[in-house]
Amino acid sequence: MSLLGTRVKRTEDPALLTVGGDFVDDIAPTDAVWLTFVRSDYAHAIIQSIDTTDAASMPGVVGVFTNSDVAINDIRPGMPMLNQDMARPILARDKVRYVGEPVAVVVTETQAQGVDAAEMVVIDYDVLQPVLDPRLAATDAMVIDDEAGTNVATVVPDHGTDDGFDDCDVVVELSFVNQRLAACPIEPRAAAAQWSQGVLTEWSTNQNAHGAKRAVSGALGLEAEQVRVITPDVGGSFGAKNGGYPEELVVAQLARQLDRPTRWVETRSENMVGLGHGRGQYISAKLGGTADGTLTRYHLDTIKDAGAYPLLGAMLPHLTKLMTSGVYDIETVSFSGMSVLTNTVPYAAYRGAGRPEATAAIERMIDLFAAKAGLDPVAVRRKNLLKPDQFPFDTQTGAKMDSGRYEEALDTALDEAGYDDLRAQQEQRRQSGGNKQLGIGVSVYVEITNPIGGPEYASVAVQPNGSAVALTGSSAHGQGHHTTFAMLVADRTGIPFDKIEVRHGDTAEVPRGGGTGGSKSLQLGGSAMLGASEALVAKAKDAAAEMLEASPGDIIHDPDSGNFSVVGTPAVSVSWEQLASSSGAEGSDPAGESALSAAFDFQPQGPTFPFGAHVSVVEVDVETGQVTILRHVACDDAGVMINPLLVDGQVHGGIAQGMAQALFEEFSYDEDGNPITANFMDYGIVSAAELPSFDRLAMETPTPRNPLGAKGIGESGTIGSTPAVQSAVIDAVAHLGVSHIEMPLTSQRVWTAIQSSSHRPA
**Per-residue pLDDT tens for 367-393?**
999 999 999 999 999 999 999 999 999
370 and 401 co-located in one domain: yes
Q: How many CB atoms lie within 10 A of CB 51?
A: 13
Residue 492 covered by a domain: yes
pLDDT at 1: 76
Cα separation of 327 and 334, whole Å?
15
Vertex 346 angle, CA 344 and 349, to 5°? 140
pLDDT above 80: residue 589: no
Helix crossing, 576-583 with 527-548: angle to 10°?
Answer: 70
Q: Is 408 helix (H, G, I), strand (E, B) or coil?
A: helix
Residue 134 covered by a domain: no
Work out the pLDDT band at 408, boundaries 50, 70, 90: very high
Beta strands in 210-294 (DSSP E): 227-230, 262-265, 277-289
pLDDT at 593: 47
Average pLDDT over residues 522-542: 96
pLDDT above 90: residue 452: no
Cα separation of 79 and 213, whole Å?
17
Instruction: Tell me how many domains the chain contains.
Output: 3
706 and 651 co-located in one domain: yes
317-365 pLDDT tens trace: 999 999 999 999 999 999 999 999 999 999 999 999 999 999 999 999 9
Residue 221 covered by a domain: no
Work out the pLDDT band at 161, boundaries 50, 70, 90: confident
Work out the pLDDT band at 584, boundaries 50, 70, 90: low
347 and 465 co-located in one domain: no
pLDDT at 761: 59
pLDDT at 592: 47
619 and 707 co-located in one domain: yes
Torsions phi, psi of 63, nearest 5?
A: 180, 160
CA atoms within 13 A on the CB side of 28: 23
Non-local (6+) Cβ contacts of 468 within 8 A are 460, 461, 462, 489, 493, 495, 499, 500, 501, 576
Look at the alpha carbons of 80, 86, 92, 96 in this order and tell me if their dihedral is positive or negative: negative
Domain that holds residue 284: 277-450+607-756
CATH number of the domain bearing residue 281: 3.30.365.10
3-35 pLDDT tens trace: 999 999 999 999 888 988 899 999 999 999 999
645 and 740 co-located in one domain: yes
Q: Is 106 helix (H, G, I), strand (E, B) or coil?
A: strand
Average pLDDT over residues 201-226: 96
485 and 425 co-located in one domain: no
- What single letter denotes the amino acid at residue 332? T
104-145 pLDDT tens trace: 999 999 999 999 999 999 999 999 999 999 999 999 999 999
In the chain, what is the greatest distance between 2 CA atoms, to the nearest angstrom? 92
Q: Is 246 helix (H, G, I), strand (E, B) or coil?
A: helix
pLDDT above 80: residue 590: no
Share of the chain above pLDDT 90, in %: 92
416 and 290 co-located in one domain: yes
pLDDT at 760: 65
Beta strands in 415-492 (DSSP E): 436-446, 456-462, 468-472
- Of 326, 245, 254, nearest to 35 (Cα)? 254
479 and 345 co-located in one domain: no
Alpha helices in 608-685 (DSSP H): 644-663
629 and 667 co-located in one domain: yes
User: Domain end: 82, 102, 128, which one?
Assistant: 128
Residue 687 covered by a domain: yes
pLDDT at 588: 42
Question: Between the ranges 92-96, 450-454, 578-582, 594-598, where is the mean pLDDT highest?
Answer: 92-96
Non-local (6+) Cβ contacts of 113 within 8 A are 34, 58, 59, 60, 61
361 and 481 co-located in one domain: no
424 and 484 co-located in one domain: no
CB 610 within 8 A of CB 446: yes
464 and 514 co-located in one domain: yes
CATH number of the domain bearing residue 119: 3.90.1170.50
CB 589 within 8 A of CB 550: no
Residue 193 covered by a domain: no
pLDDT above 70: residue 757: yes
Non-local (6+) Cβ contacts of 465 within 8 A are 577, 580
pLDDT above 50: residue 522: yes
- Report the chain's mean pLDDT, rounded to a whole number: 95
Residue 711 covered by a domain: yes
Work out the pLDDT band at 586, boundaries 50, 70, 90: very low
Non-local (6+) Cβ contacts of 595 within 8 A are 539, 543, 583, 584, 585
Cα separation of 490 and 643, whole Å?
13
Q: How many CB atoms lie within 10 A of CB 122?
A: 13
pLDDT at 324: 97
- How are beta strands 295-307 and 332-341 bridged, if at all? parallel
pLDDT at 571: 81
- The model's pTM: 0.95
Consecutive H or E run containing 337: strand 332-341
Residue 518 covered by a domain: yes
Residue 150 covered by a domain: no
pLDDT at 570: 81
